[in-house]
Structure 1
Amino acid sequence: MKKSYYLFNPGRLSRKDNTLKFVPEDEEGNQGQPRYLPVEQITNLYVFGSLDANSALYNFLGKNGIGVHFFDFYEHYTGSFYPKEYLQAGQLHVQQSLHYADPQKRMALAQPLIDAASFNMLKTLKYYYNRGREIQDAVEAIEEYRQGIFVTTNVEELMGLEGNIRQAYYAAFTDICATFPLEKRIKRPPTDPMNTLISFCNMLCYTACLDMIYHTQLDPTISFLHEPGVRRFSLALDLAEIFKPLLVDRMIFSLVNKKIIQPKDFKTEVNACILKESGRKNILKAWDTKLSDTIKHRKLGRNVSYKHLIKLECYKLTKQLMDIEPYQGFKAWW
């Protein structure tokens, strides 16, 4: 079974016959024991340290369909290497562009995205509200904001409403997760443990969505909620909105409340809080487990993994774009 591999240490990655060879280096530049990674078992590489590689390696990775995601010192996602697209459909690409360019068609996709995302936020909060957390104000605020989603007339107005929903949502985090209070969402760089956890795990969700888009015929640069921009895969941002409350936030609450992630897993730099390697490893272990966990899909009548749920969402978008079936964002029922 293929899986993701995470490279925390700086080092050199090269091709060795038909596999990958990674030689780590310490701070003094001394080389450690080589590790051999079986290429047929790899879906993606996540690089958190300085990586020395050449074009021959990337040619090898491209031929084997392996993507590489890069993160900087503060765990911010900085970019990806992707193999040449192997699933291309000109008609779908045209329709995706036309749906973005037509305000009415764009809103027909953007509104269900926010509707599903806010529903999943509410579902997460209600789980803790029913267990005695004092978050009634946040729940009521989101319920009220949700009533305005399909009344909005343009994407800018919809994004403003989404901002209000998310502000109310984050206001409940401290009551759910008192160990790491969240006074304000700060991104670049995060200055406290909870902001660090949110930023790091959001990037994992973003790259998971990007991976699934790559395995469909959708263009990751053409989005409907977020504005397409230079050098970013904005459709992955759209899809991540739906799955962050289910995959990211629930995982964060569980890791912290079960004391799997503790204050000792963070260190403070100048105006920034970053995860130590121990914290990153615990999160990535939980993340891989989460993506492979399965649920009984109501419509399909069989168990599907959370990772496959993201791919199914891509197919649903495709059906709307090709005028097969109206799009409805995924809403959790548990």
Structure 2
Amino acid sequence: MEAPGAGHVLARRRQLERHSDPSDRLELSRVLVAGKIRNQHVLLRRRARRAEEPDLVWQAASRLSALEVRVAECGDVAQVMGVEGGASGVYYRAFARVLDPALGFTGRGRRNGDVVNALTNYCSALLRETVVSGLLAAGLDPYLSFLHTPARGRPTLAFDLMEEWRPVLLDSTVLALTGLRAVTARDLEDGPDGPWLSSQARSQIITRFHARLAAPARGWPAPPAQRTYADQLRAQCVALRAWILGEAETYDPFAWR
């Protein structure tokens, strides 16, 4: 509701210094992408038994495990992004197999007209604003990133931290909504720039997403008792600040279980 104050200026100054160091950018980029890939193959392993072709989903999870290891071998951020792109291709081909074919999902694309991509886009916006709030509370600049290239008007540090949370909060919400048929293809309406979700569908998404945030966090190592996913996300923002300030040697992404 109001602009961040100047109390965190030292943290932001240190954030700029570490952003300007290629080795620091590479270090954080590796762990962020490795964390994302790990949580992707955890989701696939959870859902494989419900898929029409579970063996193919298991194979995709195994390939993602190998790509997670490969991230550590990358020599620069561009290589890290290359591995991330390859992992996303593997993941979304398998993700399509755990969905109802009637939903028409053939791959991830922001402008694709199917209901799964529309759901993913909307949930992504909800997750982005949740992460931006956590970063501001931790005294970090949401626009100064390490993995993604900073761009005017884009909170790219939020995009960095969203990576590890996409399978946990975003994709799991999409699967819950489609699995319960709370949102279907009938909820798409014609908008000025493509299909839009109906107001009823948006209400269902917000309710389910916030219920997911309020659920007990399941991670490894186990989070403290009574900690929700929303609590854990804020804790990750604080942990990122500690790494930026040099108070922690490493940043450990959230490991889902």
TM-score by length of 2: 0.91
Which sections of structure 2, spanning at least 5 residues, go unmatched?
none
Q: Which residue of 2 aligns with 1:140?
A: 62
Q: Deviations over 1:240-291 (max 9, x none)?
A: 1111100111111111111111222112457722101111111111112112
| Structure richer in helix, relative to its length | 2
8 Å CA contact 1:210–1:220 kept in 2: the answer is yes
Please list the CA deviations of residues 18-44 of structure 1 after superposition, one character each: whole Å capped at 9, or x if unmatched.
xxxxxxxxxxxxxxxxxxxxxxxxxxx
The equivalences for 1:188-227 within 5 A come to 189-227=111-149
Does the CA-based 8 Å contact 1:87-1:216 persist in structure 2?
A: no
Correspondence list, 1:52-201, <5 A: 66=1, 83-86=2-5, 88-134=7-53, 135-178=57-100, 179-187=102-110, 189-201=111-123
Give the TM-score of the pair, scaled to structure 1.
Answer: 0.71
Per-residue deviation at 1:231?
1.1
2:203: which partner in 1? Answer: 281
Q: Is the 8 A contact 2:51 2:98 kept in 1?
A: no
Q: Which amino acid aligns with 1:180?
A: L
**Matched residue count:** 251
Alpha-carbon offset, residue 330 of structure 1: 0.8
Bigger radius of gyration: 1
Query: What is the CA-CA distance between 1:144 and the residue it aligns to?
Result: 2.3
2:212 equivalent in structure 1: 290
Q: Evaluate the alpha carbon distance shift between residue 156 and residue 296 of structure 1 in structure 2; reply closer, same or farther with a 3 A threshold.
A: closer
Equivalent position amino acid for 1:327 in 2: Y
Cα distance in 2 for partners of 1:98, 1:85 equals 20
Are residues 1:327 and 2:251 paired?
yes
Q: Is the 8 A contact 2:236 2:254 kept in 1?
A: yes
Could you say what secondary structure the match of 1:295 adopts?
Answer: coil
Larger RCO, structures 1/2 (Cα 8 Å, 6+ apart): 2
* Residues 300/147 of structure 1: CA separation in 2 closer, same or farther (3 Å cut): closer
* Distance in structure 1 (CA, Å) of the matches to 2:29 and 2:184: 37
- Please say if residues 93 and 106 of structure 2, whose CA atoms lie closer than 8 Å, have aligned partners that are also in contact: yes
Is 1:305–2:228 an aligned residue pair? yes
Mark the CA change 1:300 to 1:255 in structure 2 (over 3 Å): closer, same or farther.
Answer: closer
Q: 1:302 deviation in Å?
A: 2.2
**Residues 209 and 310 in structure 1, CA contact (< 8 A), matched pair in contact too:** yes
